[in-house]
């Protein structure tokens, strides 16, 4: 289908469409948030560097997301937004980085107002999706190869047993 709102990101001459899914609104039915956590190839969790409560909410959301999609290695990018409002900062860059390390996700600070690091953010999302897809495909090829080897071994044993 055609994206209602798509962002086209080009990396190495390959165009990739991104279709962001907005987060559920406050007070929305719990199943809406559950659904949002079940779909998607990557997640961008945004907090405001000028609002510690949003940072704590982002951390909670990250924990819920890993619980929901435990077995999958879904790329997650933690984003500290409003980096242009340095004088109002409540969450340090170091806190954001540390949180990303603890939660095993990528980290970047942006300013949507100044468009600072916004392009890098979306390019990073596409790169993470591609890396995950490529490693998943390579893993599937390895598993198929192992199965073929096992069947060759079984055939050889049967042949030798007949002798």
- Provide the CATH number for the domain around residue 49: 3.40.50.300
What domain range is 60 assigned to? 42-134
Q: Record the pTM.
A: 0.70
Residue whose pair of structure tokens reads 């409560």 in the numeric block:
53
pLDDT digits (tens, 9 = 90+) for 58-69: 998 888 887 877
Bridge pairing between strands 14-18 and 43-48: unpaired
Nearest in space to 117 (alpha carbons), one of 138, 133, 96: 96
**Total domain count for the chain?**
1
pLDDT digits (tens, 9 = 90+) for 142-161: 777 766 666 767 777 777 78
Report if residue 21 sits inside a domain.
no
Report if residue 53 sits inside a domain.
yes
Give percent of the chain with pLDDT exceeding 70: 69
3-class state of residue 162 by DSSP: helix
Nearest in space to 46 (alpha carbons), one of 89, 98, 107: 107
Distance between CA atoms of 61 and 55, rounded to whole angstroms?
10
Report if residue 94 sits inside a domain.
yes
All residues at 6 or more sequence positions from 11 whose CB lies less than 8 Å from its CB, including other chains: 123, 126, 127
Nearest in space to 56 (alpha carbons), one of 88, 23, 99, 21: 99
pLDDT at 3: 45
Bridge pairing between strands 76-81 and 106-109: parallel
Report if residue 153 sits inside a domain.
no
Report if residue 124 sits inside a domain.
yes
Report if residue 162 sits inside a domain.
no
All residues at 6 or more sequence positions from 23 whose CB lies less than 8 Å from its CB, including other chains: 33, 36
């Amino acid at each position: 289908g055609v994206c209602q709102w798509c962002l086209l990101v080009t990396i190495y001459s390959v165009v990739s469409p991104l279709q962001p899914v907005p987060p559920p609104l406050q007070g929305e039915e719990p199943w809406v948030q559950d659904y949002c956590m079940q779909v998607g190839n990557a997640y961008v969790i945004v907090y405001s560097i000028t609002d510690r409560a949003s940072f704590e909410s982002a951390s909670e959301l990250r924990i819920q997301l890993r619980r929901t999609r435990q077995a999958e290695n879904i790329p997650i990018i933690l984003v500290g937004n409003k980096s242009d409002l340095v004088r109002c900062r409540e969450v340090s860059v170091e806190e954001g980085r540390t949180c990303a390390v603890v939660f095993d996700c990528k980290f970047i600070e942006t300013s949507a107002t100044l468009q600072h690091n916004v392009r890098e953010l979306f390019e990073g999302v596409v790169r993470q999706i591609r890396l995950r897809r490529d490693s998943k495909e390579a893993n599937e090829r390895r598993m198929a190869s192992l199965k073929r080897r096992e069947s060759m071994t079984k055939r050889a044993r049967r042949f030798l047993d007949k002798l």
